[in-house]
Chains A and B, each alone.
Chain A
């Protein structure tokens, strides 16, 4: 990992198209601005990792028989719901 120190308002360029600017530093929170082409996705890492983790968990769990769960869901939908708002 390349480690650089930046002060407020200083920037880092990644390749020719991505720029990260330190907008503000307050306590232990750094506010970063990211300039990148629309085609480059920018995510908070923990969110990205959460999705990835769930995908992997899903891949491992896909072989199970869902017949009873499916039945329960279908039956639930058939049950009339009180106070259902008119759409």
Chain B
């Protein structure tokens, strides 16, 4: 079955049942938003969007954390593996949410609250990591530029 949604950011969307990702607990601060689709725009790759179907004004910018922090590694706790119905924890696809401030150079990603998706069951959850090394506001552009300077000292 296909349903049409009128979204604020992407206009009219034709969403098939099999495209819908369900987050039974929603996102922190948006617990009532449970149904989403993940959207892409090749011109803005590698960014993707988590578009809410329950509130069509709502969307979140996503990125694969490995693209912004190559050593990013999370362990999906047993209880979350169970909730997501993951047969193999390695099936999990991980995204982090990006915050784009007025000055785009200060863009950050939330490494502390990744979105973990089970693509086979189309279920997702926002994890809250207890690991202190991952901040909720990671200034990845600044960090990538720092790294670049280290590798290419002038």
Q: Using a CB–CB distance below 8 Å, which chain A residues touch chain B? A: 38-39, 41, 43, 47-48, 50-59, 61-70, 72-74, 76-77, 81-83
Taking a contact as CB atoms closer than 8 A, the residue among A39, A52, A66, A81 that contacts B29 in the complex is: A52
Chain B, interface SS category: mixed
Interface range on chain B: under 10, 10 to 19, 20 to 34, or 35 or more? 35 or more
Q: Using a CB–CB distance below 8 Å, which chain B residues touch chain A? A: 8-9, 27-30, 43-47, 49, 58-61, 67-68, 78-79, 82-83, 97-101, 104, 107-108, 110, 112-113, 126, 128, 130, 136-137, 141, 144, 148, 151-152
Chain B residues within 8 Å of A43, by CB = 128
The residue of chain A having its C-beta at the shortest distance from the C-beta of B79 within the complex is A38
- 8 inter-chain pairs at a CB distance below 8 angstroms, sorted by A residue, are A43-B128, A52-B28, A56-B29, A58-B97, A63-B8, A65-B44, A81-B151, A83-B151
Known: A61-B101, A62-B49. A47 touches B61 (CB 8 A): no
B23 to A: closest C-beta gap in Å: 12
Q: Are A77 and B67 in contact (CB under 8 A)?
A: yes
Q: Are B59 and A39 in contact (CB under 8 A)?
A: no
Q: Are A51 and B28 in contact (CB under 8 A)?
A: yes
Q: Are A63 and B9 in contact (CB under 8 A)?
A: yes
Chain A residues within 8 Å of B44, by CB = 65-67, 70
Complex CA distance for A13 and B67, rounded to whole angstroms: 45
Q: Are A50 and B9 in contact (CB under 8 A)?
A: no
Complex CA distance for A56 and B126, rounded to whole angstroms: 14
